[in-house]
């Protein structure tokens, strides 16, 4: 066999000289014995496999769970459910806000933990709307969480070592992305074992015969010249006949082009564009949209909180007072409201906006009637990343205000978005639920590979949303996933391809 050993990379040479026929070769042993970095080891494996010198022998997938900082804190202080149970046992009945203040917990944490305890019959609200205990023992699931937290102190936990109950519980408290807000982080590992082929053994012998060690110089540095070390070493040969580098012209990102195309199209239809900051407060992100502060509807908007500063300085008036009264008793909207005491501290809490509708809420305070507005908003939300979901994403958000607009008008707009902007051929509407619109609609489109998926939600804003913000006419609203529209328009099958680190795909794909 004719082997060109002089063109082997030093990483390949050193690895070939180190291994033998019949030996199981793993990244762990190569990194430890040859002092390779992970990237260097993987690159050497890739090159040698491509040349046929190594072959993959086995591949094992493992799932592990690693304790997060939050998990360590909960192991020391107890989980919210444990702390609430212990506090109620020792101090008697308390309201949920009182529990949050006494235990220094977020109100969302108290609501979620209390719901878990109530579902198991351990706690309940009494006639005074205060939480109290009904049983003297914590539910099995809460105790299981405590056991897992203790195990996590000893290092990563193998999924294969967990009992059926522990696996079920772990699936609820572990996340791949956004794990900082969960007790455990999910780690997926792939253990590969390689073996040297006969061709690889021949290459090894050729390398040894040619006296190539992998320590040859690839370039001359100023330090080498100063010390004179270049005189005693050997150099790698230069490939004078190697092809020149490919010339790559500059090109716009296809998805960036698509976003601009959408903006131009909507502007051409007479819509005015609005925009706003990425950092918002709970008032505009949820309260102004009649989303109750203590309601499970907030669970679908798992926001990223801003650490510093935690709160904004103030909320604009009269919007704050009018929205607060609407939540408490309905204000002048004809509604009874949500019937709770509006938390003026919580409403100033700063978050990364979780939905584009926050821009519509801002716009209604200054909108012209009749009028139509749109925005392309980048939003942030905890989510499991897959072909149709991302942890941060773009929405095209918009409102149409006027005395004559109605549901039929809205359906026409959604059809236009689905067909003309997304390029879908099959569209359907299904009933939806949002706290800020009635009626509420979800528009679905059919992708040739992914099948049916939700494009976004829409509806007509409730009076509890519009009147406190100074609007007394019907307002159509929609928030559509523009990333998903781009899938159809650009002919892709996975949202992650829009943000791929593979620069080659950006160089070769053309967007509108």
Instruction: Report in angstroms the alpha-carbon separations of 337 from 10, 296, 333, 414, 436.
Output: 72, 16, 9, 30, 12
Q: Which pTM value belongs to this model?
A: 0.51
SS3 431: strand
Separation of alpha carbons 52 and 300, rounded Å: 50
Provide the residue ranges of all domains of the chain, joining segments of one domain with +.
10-58+192-209, 67-189, 255-508
CATH says 10-58+192-209 is which class?
Answer: mainly alpha
Strands (E) in 335-436, as ranges, are 350-352, 371-380, 392-401, 427-431
In this predicted structure, what is the pLDDT of residue 512?
Answer: 44
Note whether 195 and 23 are within 8 A (CB): yes
Q: How many helices (H) and strands (E) in the chain? A: 19, 16
Instruction: Reply yes or no on domain 67-189 having CATH 1.10.1760.
Output: no
DSSP strand pairing (272-273 vs 371-380): parallel
Separation of alpha carbons 269 and 288, rounded Å: 28
Smallest CA-to-CA distance from 67 within 161, 185, 162, 190 is with 185
User: What tens digit of pLDDT does each residue of 141-166 get?
Assistant: 989 999 999 999 988 899 989 999 99
In this predicted structure, what is the pLDDT of residue 252?
Answer: 79
Phi and psi, residue 418, nearest 5°: -65, -40
Separation of alpha carbons 159 and 122, rounded Å: 29
Separation of alpha carbons 381 and 393, rounded Å: 8
In this predicted structure, what is the pLDDT of residue 322?
Answer: 96
Note whether 401 and 473 are within 8 A (CB): yes
Instruction: Report in angstroms the alpha-carbon separations of 382 from 178, 288, 445.
Output: 6, 22, 24
Asked if the domains at 10-58+192-209 and 67-189 fall in one CATH topology, the answer is: yes
Note whether 343 and 315 are within 8 A (CB): no
In this predicted structure, what is the pLDDT of residue 496?
Answer: 75
Separation of alpha carbons 483 and 87, rounded Å: 46
- Show Cβ contacts of residue 224 under 8 Å, excluding neighbours closer than 6 positions: 217, 230
Separation of alpha carbons 417 and 271, rounded Å: 13
In this predicted structure, what is the pLDDT of residue 326?
Answer: 96
Fold of 255-508: BirA Bifunctional Protein; domain 2 (3.30.930)
Partners of residue 106 on adjacent β-strands: none
Q: Can you say whether the dihedral through the CA atoms of 3, 5, 8, 11 is positive or negative? A: positive
Partners of residue 475 on adjacent β-strands: 401
Rg (CA), the chain: 30
Q: How many CB atoms lie within 10 A of CB 53?
A: 24
Q: What is the 3-state secondary structure (H, E, C) of 489-504?
A: HHCCCCHHHHHCCCHH
User: Within the chain, which residues score under 50 in pLDDT?
Assistant: 300, 512
Separation of alpha carbons 185 and 332, rounded Å: 47
Separation of alpha carbons 508 and 512, rounded Å: 13
Rounded to the nearest 5 percent, the helix, strand and coil shares of the chain are 40, 20, 35
């Amino acid at each position: 066999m004719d082997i060109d050993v002089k063109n082997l990379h030093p990483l390949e040479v050193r690895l070939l000289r180190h291994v033998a026929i019949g030996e199981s070769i793993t990244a762990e042993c190569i990194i430890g014995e040859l002092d390779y970095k992970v990237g260097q080891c993987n690159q050497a494996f890739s090159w040698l496999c491509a040349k046929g010198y190594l072959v993959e022998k086995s591949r094992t997938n493992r799932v592990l769970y690693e304790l997060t900082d939050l998990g360590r804190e909960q192991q020391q202080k107890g989980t919210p459910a444990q702390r609430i149970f212990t506090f109620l046992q020792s101090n008697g009945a308390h309201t949920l806000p009182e529990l949050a203040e006494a235990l220094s917990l977020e109100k969302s944490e108290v609501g979620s933990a209390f719901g878990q305890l109530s579902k198991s019959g351990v706690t309940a609200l009494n006639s005074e709307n205060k939480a109290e205990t009904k049983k003297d023992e914590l539910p099995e699931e809460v105790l299981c969480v405590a056991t897992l937290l203790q195990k996590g102190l000893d290092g990563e936990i193998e999924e294969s070592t967990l009992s059926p109950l522990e696996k079920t519980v772990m699936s609820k408290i572990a996340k791949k992305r956004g794990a900082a807000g969960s007790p455990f982080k999910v780690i997926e590992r792939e253990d590969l074992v390689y073996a040297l082929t006969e061709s690889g053994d021949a290459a090894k012998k050729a390398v040894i015969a040619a006296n190539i060690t992998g320590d040859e110089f690839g370039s001359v540095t100023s330090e080498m010249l100063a010390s004179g070390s270049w005189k005693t070493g050997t150099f790698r040969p230069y490939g004078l006949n190697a092809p020149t580098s490919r010339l790559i012209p500059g090109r716009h990102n296809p998805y960036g082009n698509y976003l601009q195309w959408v903006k131009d199209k909507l502007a051409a239809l007479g819509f005015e564009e609005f925009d706003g900051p990425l950092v918002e407060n709970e008032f505009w992100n949820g309260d102004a949209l009649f989303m109750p502060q203590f309601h499970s509807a907030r669970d679908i908007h798992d926001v990223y909180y801003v650490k510093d500063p935690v709160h904004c300085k103030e909320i604009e008036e009269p919007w704050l007072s009018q929205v607060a009264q609407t939540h408490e008793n309905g204000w002048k909207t004809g509604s009874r409201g949500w019937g709770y005491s509006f938390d003026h501290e919580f409403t100033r809490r700063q978050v990364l906006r979780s939905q584009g509708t926050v821009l519509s809420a801002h716009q209604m305070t200054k909108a012209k009637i009749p009028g139509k507005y749109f925005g392309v908003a980048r939003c942030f939300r905890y989510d499991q990343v897959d072909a149709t979901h991302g942890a941060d994403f773009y929405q095209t958000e918009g409102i149409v205000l006027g005395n004559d607009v109605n549901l039929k008008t809205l359906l026409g707009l959604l059809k236009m978005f689905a067909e003309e902007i997304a390029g879908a051929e099959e569209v359907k509407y299904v009933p939806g639920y949002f706290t800020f619109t009635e009626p509420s609609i979800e528009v679905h489109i059919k992708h040739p590979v992914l099948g049916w998926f939700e494009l976004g939600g829409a509806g007509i804003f409730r009076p509890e949303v519009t009147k406190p913000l100074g609007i007394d006419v019907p307002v159509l609203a929609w928030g559509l996933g523009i990333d998903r529209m781009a899938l159809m328009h650009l002919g892709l099958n996975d949202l992650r391809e829009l943000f791929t680190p593979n620069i080659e795909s950006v160089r070769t794909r053309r967007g509108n």
